Structures are given as structure tokens and as C-alpha cells.
Amino acid sequence: MSKGGCKVCRVRRAYDLSTLDETLLERWQRDEDRYGYRRLATYINASILETELERAGLYTPETAATALYEGLANDDPAVREQLEREELPLERLESDFVSFGVVRTHLQECLNAEWSGRERTTDWEQTTLETVVPRLLDRTHRALESLQRREELELPEAIELSMTVSCSSCGESASLESLLAEDAWCACLENREAESDDRQDTGGSNDNAGEKSNVATDERRSE
């Protein structure tokens, strides 16, 4: 392997796939819906195609980019014609696509990663949020800037994007960080906690009442 790393390392840099390694590890090591080497190769190649489409001003969701890549890989003439119309450099793209063997080498030798099956415990949910959310916000920011350049949208000089979670019942919202911190960020959660406390208090009162009733019964029997 060269000093610059394997082919996956090179395409990661060439196509600015900054969170690629984290995503590969998360999808390869998780227990549910785990990606094998071939599926990871498809993901990488679809990401390459997706990036090239973005550079051409065509913002494409991951699922659509995957479908286009699979059509290209299966020699679908309609897909090839569509991409040629967009003047994408198909010859270069196809030479940059990776095989499942290259992905295996990247995981095992470049990332020193292992997968030990279901006995492995991970915080894949946290990892997913840490890798997917920043990428989503970055893509959204770039899409907005593109619309502004095409004069289809007016934006202030500086904008900041964030992800929030809203309660459909009371309408209150909170940042993703607050949600992960398990704070009672909306009135519904606060009411739920209060009701839980009330039930506990009521339960204790009922227990005391039962004890008093038993004592009174015993006293009547002794008479």
C-alpha cells in the first residue's frame, strides 16, 4: 500500500468525503441491518457519484444516487444517457469506483477495524447522530447557497443551521443536544413526570390507609 493509503483513502480525499470512515465503521459494525463489503462498496461508489452530481449543481438524495450508481454498474443505457446529458465525467468516475476487496482492505488495514458479531456492544446510535447530522446540515447549507447563487432565494450574509425536535402535542421544540441530555424540554414531559410523582404519592397514602383499616378491624375483634 502506498503512503497515501488505499484507493478508498484516495477517493475520500478527492471527493471530500470527510465522514466516510465513521460511516463505514458504523454500518459495518452494527448488529441491525449490517452492511457487508459489497454493500459498503456500493455506498462508497454512490457517494462518489452523489458528490459529482452536487458539483454539477444537482443535489441528489443518497437513495437516488444509489439507484443511479446501480443502473450505471448494470450498464443501463438510460442511466448512462442521463448522466452523459449532465456532462458528468463517467470515465473518471468509473475508474474511481471501488471494489468490495478494496473496502475490506481499507477496513482491516487502514482502519484496523474488526467485527465480532452480536457479542459486540456499541453506541451506534450516538455515532450515527454524530456523523449523519453534521453531513445533513452541511448539505442543506450548500443547497441553500446554490439557490441563492441562482437568485431563487434570498439569504442574509451569514446563516446558521441546527436540528431541532418538536413535540406534536404542545408545539415546543428543543435542540438535539437537549434531547440527548434527557432534559424535560416540553410541557408534556414535565406533566408526565408530575403525574408519575402524584401516582407514587397516592400509592403511599393508600398503603397507609390500608394499614389504619387493618388496625381498626383488629381492635373491633379484640372487643
The residue-averaged pLDDT of 177-203 equals 59
In-domain check, residue 146: no
Amino acid 194: pLDDT: 54
Residue 141 pLDDT greater than 80, yes or no:
yes
Domain-ending residue, one of 62, 87, 122 = 122
23 with 107, same domain: the answer is: yes
Amino acid at 200: Q
Amino acid 3: pLDDT: 59
Residue given cell 387493618 in the structure block:
214
HEC profile of the chain: CCCCCCHHHHHHHHCCCCCHHHHHHHHHHCCCCCCCHHHHHHHHHHHHHHHHHHHCCCCCCHHHHHHHHHHHHCCCHHHHHHHHHCCCCHHHHHHHCCCHHHHHHHHHHHCCCCCCHHHCCCCHHHHHHHHHHHHHHHHHHHHHHHHHHCCCCCCCCCCCCCCEEECCCCCCEEEHHHHHCCCCCCHHHHHHHHHHHHHHHHHHHHHHHHHHHHHHHHHHHHC
**2-12 pLDDT, tens digit each:** 556 899 999 99
99 with 198, same domain: the answer is: no
In-domain check, residue 220: yes
In-domain check, residue 32: yes
Most confident region among 48-52, 61-65, 121-125, 163-167 by mean pLDDT: 48-52
Residue 100 pLDDT greater than 80, yes or no:
yes
Residue 122 pLDDT greater than 80, yes or no:
no
14 with 105, same domain: the answer is: yes
Beta bridge pairs of residue 174? 165
Query: 41 and 27 in contact (C-beta within 8 Å)?
Result: no
117 with 186, same domain: the answer is: no
83 with 185, same domain: the answer is: no
The band of 15, judged by pLDDT with boundaries at 50, 70 and 90, is very high
Work out the burial of residue 83: count CB atoms within 10 Å of its CB; fewer than 13 is exposed, 13-18 middle, 19 or more buried: buried
In-domain check, residue 81: yes
Amino acid 209: pLDDT: 45
What is the total count of domains within the chain?
Answer: 2
47 with 103, same domain: the answer is: yes
The residue-averaged pLDDT of 152-170 equals 84
In-domain check, residue 151: no
In-domain check, residue 143: no
Q: Max alpha carbon distance in the chain (Å)?
A: 103
Amino acid at 144: L
In-domain check, residue 2: no
Domain-ending residue, one of 122, 152, 187 = 122
In-domain check, residue 83: yes
Amino acid 160: pLDDT: 82
Domain housing 217: 167-223
11 with 112, same domain: the answer is: yes
201 with 110, same domain: the answer is: no
pTM given for the model: 0.55
Phi, psi (5° rounding) for residue 186?
-135, 160
Cα–Cα dist 40/30, whole Å? 13
**80-99 pLDDT, tens digit each:** 999 999 999 999 999 999 99
116 with 202, same domain: the answer is: no
